[in-house]
Amino acid sequence: MTAVKKALMITGIIEKNQTKITIQSMKTNNQWQQALATAVRDPLVLVDLLQLPPLPALSLAAAEQFSLLVPHSYLQRIRLGDWHDPLLRQVLPMSDELQLVDGFGIDPVGDSAAMVAEGVLHKYNSRVLLISTAACAIHCRYCFRRHFPYAEAQAGRDQWRVACDYLAAHPEVDEVILSGGDPLVLSDQRLQWLLQALAKQPHLQRIRIHTRLPIVLPERITEGLLQLLQQTSMPIVMVLHANHAQELDAVDVKQAIQALQLSGVLLLNQAVLLRGVNDSVAALRALSEELIAQRVLPYYLHLLDKVAGAAHFEVPEDEAQALMARLRAEVSGYLVPQLVKEVAYEASKTPVMPFG
């Protein structure tokens, strides 16, 4: 063993490199695309794989409105035979979704009005959000974009050029948020084109990526993607989306998160407060603790957007405030995400204070 290697081992760097090498050899482009292609799309296959007993609330009609989609990696984190599993609840088409509930609509956050060009949302002064693709690797039943006109909002290169022209004309914008859908569903080639085009905008300081893929399809974090992120000349902030500690408790997820961190990406997490998933102090605490254990900072906890079909996930605001007050009394301040809601036409997300 060389002296250098020995020194590296002592400092722990070589251990990190070895993790990287494992990831390099494990994850190839082909594999993540295959994992996405073989994700579960049939509710009856899901029931079978998870060995679930019959449940009347399972609804094929709900799955027709918004299709089921769950990658196998995520499926492996769901407990067998348990309808109440917090991960299963996020993806399971339920008859509750078909009920019309007052106050729950199609575009609850005013996205249509904020669309300044195809696929470009400019709602908040300093940052612009790009709907970079319509596709996701998982379908979350509570998603506020479940009724969004994705086909119209899907950006191809021509639309990205339009988005870049818009940015060039708006020097007050210092950050671009790649969102969707999920931007990491794009191929490396398309992402590279987009990142390079954005990096040429002189007034941009950061690129932010809103993605659930490291959590739901960790195979996506390939060496090619990591290189691409490393090569981008601007700081990259990645906002993950995990709602429950159990979603983070998998070797492949931990490796994906670590690989992103070793590539210099700053990782934050946003979650949605969901009835039957994470609506307890214990669940919220466990989520924050697991995030910090993996060096990811809890950023936002969102109140549910009032989208038609998701009313059964709602936790009322006063209950949310009480939960946050109790969480704050239990843990370090940085383990407490900011509770926010999205009010259409406001200048930012709206903080919800612990006692109203």
- Of the candidate residues 123, 146, 220, 244, the single one contacting ligand PLP (CB under 6 A): 123
- Of the candidate residues 177, 226, 260, 291, the single one contacting ligand PLP (CB under 6 A): 177
Q: By C-beta, is 222 or 243 nearer to ligand SF4?
A: 243
Q: Which two tokens stand for residue 62?
A: 């709900």
Write down the H helix ranges in the chain. Answer: 3-11, 13-26, 29-37, 43-49, 60-65, 72-75, 86-91, 111-114, 150-153, 157-168, 188-199, 213-216, 223-231, 245-248, 251-262, 281-293, 317-330
Q: Which two tokens stand for residue 301?
A: 């906890």
- Strand partners of residue 127: 124, 175
Minimum gap (Å) between residue 166 Cβ and ligand PLP: 14
Tell me which of ligand PLP, ligand SF4, none is bound by residue 50, counting a contact when its beta carbon lies within the kind-specific cut-off of 5 to 8 angstroms.
none
Minimum gap (Å) between residue 105 Cβ and ligand PLP: 16
Q: By C-beta, is 83 or 166 nearer to ligand PLP?
A: 166
- Of the candidate residues 85, 111, 175, 182, the single one contacting ligand SF4 (CB under 6 A): 182
Q: Please tell me whether residue 349 binds ligand SF4 under the rule CB under 6 A.
A: no
Rounded-to-integer distance, Cα 163 and Cα 348, Å: 21
Q: Please tell me whether residue 212 binds ligand SF4 under the rule CB under 6 A.
A: yes
Q: Is 48 exposed, middle or buried (0-12, 13-18, 19+ CB in 10 A)?
A: exposed
Q: Please tell me whether residue 240 binds ligand SF4 under the rule CB under 6 A.
A: no
What residue type is assigned to position 46 of the chain? Answer: L
What residue type is assigned to position 21 of the chain? Answer: I
Tell me which of ligand PLP, ligand SF4, none is bound by residue 349, counting a contact when its beta carbon lies within the kind-specific cut-off of 5 to 8 angstroms.
ligand PLP
Contact 155, 107 (CB under 8 A): no
Strand order in the sheet with 127-131: 115-117, 120-124, 127-131, 175-179, 206-210, 236-241, 266-272, 297-302, 338-341, 350-351
Q: Please tell me whether residue 349 binds ligand PLP under the rule CB under 6 A.
A: yes
Q: By C-beta, is 68 or 143 nearer to ligand SF4?
A: 143
Phi, psi (5° rounding) for residue 266? Answer: -85, 125
Minimum gap (Å) between residue 212 Cβ and ligand SF4: 4
Phi, psi (5° rounding) for residue 179? Answer: -140, -165
- Strand partners of residue 340: 302, 351
User: Which residues, numbered 129-148, are part of the site for ligand PLP (CB under 6 A)?
Assistant: 129
Rounded-to-integer distance, Cα 123 and Cα 130, Å: 11
The site string for ligand SF4 over 113-142 (x = CB under 6 A, - otherwise) reads -----------------------x-xxx--
Q: By C-beta, is 62 or 155 nearer to ligand PLP?
A: 155
Tell me which of ligand PLP, ligand SF4, none is bound by residue 123, counting a contact when its beta carbon lies within the kind-specific cut-off of 5 to 8 angstroms.
ligand PLP
Minimum gap (Å) between residue 75 Cβ and ligand SF4: 15
Which residues are at the interface with ligand PLP (CB under 6 A)?
114, 121, 123-124, 127, 129, 177, 348-349
Which residues are at the interface with ligand SF4 (CB under 6 A)?
136, 138-140, 143, 145, 180-182, 212, 241
